[in-house]
Structure 1
Amino acid sequence: MLSKICTYLLGILLGIIFIFGLSIPLKENSDWKLSELNGYIAIYDPSGFLFELTNISLSSLPKKEQEALLLGLTVNDHIELEQILEGLTQ
């Protein structure tokens, strides 16, 4: 009887932890940064490490985008990151 109660309580606890875990946004899906590195657009992951150096030359972009990238552009998620990169390559 005691083992059934412990199993039941453990199941409830795991369920609560799972639901709580789903409610927290994942760090890898937020706060990516676009910036300039050696004349090209660089993508930095949320921890600040270089994730990718693109082949998009900063000098090929309009002045407004160049200035924004020199200051650093924070991106909220992967979808926004893809949209920005697509916009810069058109």
Structure 2
Amino acid sequence: MTVNTAVGWHIEMEFQEDTHHTRAAALVRLPDGTEIRGHGYASRHPVDSNQPRVGEEVAAARALHEVEQRLLTKAHGEIDAASGRTSHPIAV
């Protein structure tokens, strides 16, 4: 019999903004107690209209991309430690 278990992770995202720049900080707390952080940055071109939401989306995407890279590094380290070999990420 297969038992399915629901698992959830929460991501915290914070922003610092001025009229031309947005900085995002992402934090993921994993069930093993590890905290993985990522940071992203966006700047508005002077001729573009002021759209804070767009700056947040770009900065957040970049912060989450950094979290992704760190999470992959952690996972591959765990695979390598358990298997005694070097694992290789598959490009998506």
TM-score (norm. length: structure 1): 0.30
TM-score (norm. length: structure 2): 0.29
Larger Rg: 1 or 2? 1
Give the number of the structure with larger relative contact order, counting CA–CA contacts within 8 Å between residues 6 or more apart.
Answer: 1
Higher helix share: 1
